[in-house]
Each structure stands twice: as C-alpha cells, then as structure tokens.
Amino acid sequence: MKFVLIPVLVVVAALRIWTRRRRRQTSPRSPRPWLTSIKSAVGLVAVREMRERLRGRIFKVGTVFILVVVAAAIIIPVLHNNSRQPPQKIGVVGNLPVSFRTTVESSAKGVGDTLQFVAEPSVKHAKVDLRSGRIDIAIINGLQLVIGHPLSATNSSVDAQLVLALAKNVGFARAVQAAHLSTSQSETLAAAKALPVTSIESGRKRAVDSTSLIGVILIFVMLSQYNTWILIGVMEEKSSRVIEVLLSAVRPIQLLTGKVMGIGLVALAQASLIVAFALALSRAVGSNLTHGTAPLVLVSTLVWLVLGYAFYSWVYAAAGSMAERQDQVQSLALPLSLPMIFGYVMALTQVSSGYPTTLLKILAYLPPTAPFAMPVLVGFGAATWWEFLSSVLISVACTVGVARVAATVYRRSILRTGGRVRVREVFSDAWR
C-alpha cells in the first residue's frame, strides 16, 4: 500500500505548501471576500455540474451497465473454477492390474480430474462406446490407449493432459514391472519428483492479470466518458450562448475549474463505487481480486484515474471551447483520444503478454499514457514506490502546465462564435 499512500501524501503536502507560498507571494494581504467569492463561484458551478450529471439517464444506465460487467468479470471465473468436471470414464478392456489402476487414478488426480472405470467386453464394444461418448478413454489390456479424436499439439485441456499423463505413467508402470525391481526400488521410482523450476520474475503476476485488465479497461472507459462530457458540456454552453450570461458573473477560470471539478467528482464517485463493489463482491464470492497485489492495483487504478482525468480534462475543455457544433466536436475528439487509445492498447498488450517491456516502463512516465501504463507496472510488481511517486509528480507538474495553457485557450475561444476557432487564431494578437 506504500506504493500509493506515500506518493499521494507527498503530492498533497507539496501542493499545499506550493499554494500557500504562491498565495503569500502574489497577494500578501489577500482580502477574504475575494477568495470566498472565487471559492463559492467554483463550488456553485461544480455542484450544478454534479447535479445535472447525476440526474442524467446516461449516468444511471452507464453505472448499472459497468457494475453488471464488473460483476460478470468477477463471478464467471469463480463459477468456472468451482464447477466440478464430471468424472472421466475409462473403459477397461481385458485385465488391468491393481498397481496399474492405482497409477491411472494418481495420474487423474495429478491433472485435477476424477475418473470412473467402466468394464468393456471387447475392443469393438469399447470403440462403439467411445464414439457414442459413454466413455472418454479406453485402456486395451494395459498396453494401449484409445481415444475418440487425435490430440493436437496445442491442446492444453484437462482431458488432453490426462491422456498424456496416462500414456506416460502407465507406460512407466509397465517398464517398472518388466524390470522386476524390488518393492523398495519400485517405490523409490514411483516417488520420483520433478526438479523444482523457479523463475527470476515474480510468480504473482499471473494472479493480478485480471485485476490489471479490469483496471486498464475501467480507466479507459471512464476517461473517455467523462472527458467527452467535458468536451460536449463546454461546447453546449458556447453554442447555447449561456456562456455570455455566466461570464458576466464569474471569471472564465472559475467556470472552467468548476466544470472540471464537478464532472471529476462524479467520475471519482462512480469509480469508487465500482471499485468498492468489485472488492466487496470479490470477497463475497472468493475471487482472487482481494488477494496478493490485486487491491493495490485497484487503488493504483483509482489514483491514476484521478491523475488521468486531471490531465485530459483541461485539454478536452480547451478543445470544447473552440467548437460550436456537434460535428466540430467530433473532429476535435479523435486526435485528442489518440494518446489515450495508444496507452490503452499498449497496456492491454503488456497485460496479456505477462511481462513488462521497456516501452511500457517509458510510457509509465509520460503523462498522456501513464494512467494506463503505471497501474499495469504496479500489477507486475515492476514499479518501486519512488518510481510510482516520480511518475505521479511528472504527471501533476505537466497537468499544471496543461491547465494554464488550456485556461488561456478557453478564455480566448469561448466567446468567439461563428465557426470553429483555430489554434493559430487563439494565439494571434488579433484575438487577445
């Protein structure tokens, strides 16, 4: 948990110190009414945004849909793991010594399967039963295995593993019998264990794959949804001309900050609800989402959802202020979403590959892709707390810079109507 707690505490403390010092430097005798007015304006705008979004049908339906998907992602694997396979039916033609039967049973146990012996009067009868599915495997006089369909090289099912284990172990048992070994020698050979194999990477990574996957998808879906809200919300205020009424009472930066905060709080509330729901459901059904580093990955996902939203929301708000119609918004949204899509795809690829590459480690330090890459690195156990902190600090610093530029673009674009505003125009002298 130190991965997340230490960086968050450091960033919060640094921000508080920075804002206090800045306030002292810029306005040593800042009057309270002015500050109160700014806070209240931002708060009012934020509350309106939250109220309108929470009332919306899209939010309600979207939240229920995501919860259903998360529930399915948690419950289905558990049900799959818990579902008992029916016992494998082994047809026995001819004599099968007791020692061989023991070998067959232990082989089935070794691959997590159970079995049931079925006496077959003849090979022909056994083949008929194989075709009809009444038995799964036939052992002919302890000398040969017969199955319905040939095994492919890539088949890794339990059934295939059982066939291979039977072939190997029964063959071995026959060899031991043929060698006329003493009982102790036979037992020694039977008790032989494979050499232990260890890997230099953490053995936990397989356990957190599903958590990282859920986290990355959650971040992508929520960043896409809420940043689109910002984009369309700003555009609608401009196109409905209500912006002029609003800006006669509040500053552009207050309006923008209130909107970003309001929608951001709705996003955080929804994400927290989903994570809490996921953790509670996992604990209830015994999913591995509450084991190992999975809770850490989920908390890291929440942190990076906040940081990712903070970074992208300003960019989307600035873009929204330059558009006046739906088609203009769509043409702006695509290039803005490209870094997100890139980070998302790369993170998904890494999760499925099972190993963090150098590219993923680089992406984890770039603010546009870090919200996707860093939680995956945490899931792999491939990020130390100070690496996590470094990435957080880089993201916060870049967000401050992006917010300043976005506020300028917003202020210069939001009142200009009659067509889409070009970036070149925003920064030209003519439109100060």
What is the spatial distance between Cα 57 and Cα 10, in angstroms, rounded to a whole number?
38
Instruction: Give the shortest CB-243-to-another protein separation in angstroms.
Output: 7
Instruction: Give the shortest CB-48-to-another protein separation in angstroms.
Output: 6
Instruction: Give the shortest CB-313-to-another protein separation in angstroms.
Output: 20
Considering the complex, state which of residue 32 and residue 84 has its C-beta at the smaller distance from another protein: 32
Write out the residues near another protein by the rule CB under 8 A: 33-34, 37, 40-41, 44-45, 48, 52, 237, 240-251, 415, 417, 430, 432
Considering the complex, state which of residue 32 and residue 193 has its C-beta at the smaller distance from another protein: 32
Considering the complex, state which of residue 246 and residue 366 has its C-beta at the smaller distance from another protein: 246
Considering the complex, state which of residue 57 and residue 193 has its C-beta at the smaller distance from another protein: 57
DSSP 157: S
Query: Which residue, among 313, 294, 291, has the nearest Cα to 214 in the 3D structure?
Result: 294
Considering the complex, state which of residue 101 and residue 251 has its C-beta at the smaller distance from another protein: 251
Query: Which residue, among 310, 226, 334, has the nearest Cα to 271 in the 3D structure?
Result: 226
What residues pair up with 89 in beta bridges, in sequence order? 116
Considering the complex, state which of residue 46 and residue 115 has its C-beta at the smaller distance from another protein: 46
What is the spatial distance between Cα 399 and Cα 390, in angstroms, rounded to a whole number?
14
- 58 alpha carbon, distance to own chain's centre: 23
The residue ranges of DSSP E strands in 163-236, in sequence order, are none
Instruction: Give the shortest CB-41-to-another protein separation in angstroms.
Output: 6
What is the spatial distance between Cα 29 and Cα 142, in angstroms, rounded to a whole number?
96
Instruction: Give the shortest CB-417-to-another protein separation in angstroms.
Output: 8
Instruction: Give the shortest CB-310-to-another protein separation in angstroms.
Output: 24
Give the chain's end-to-end CA distance (angstroms, integer): 48
Radius of gyration of the chain (CA): 31
Instruction: Give the shortest CB-254-to-another protein separation in angstroms.
Output: 9
What is the spatial distance between Cα 165 and Cα 173, in angstroms, rounded to a whole number?
12
Considering the complex, state which of residue 38 and residue 285 has its C-beta at the smaller distance from another protein: 38
Classify 84 as helix, strand or coil. coil
What is the spatial distance between Cα 223 and Cα 219, in angstroms, rounded to a whole number?
6
Order of strands across the sheet with 137-140? 115-120, 88-93, 137-140, 144-147
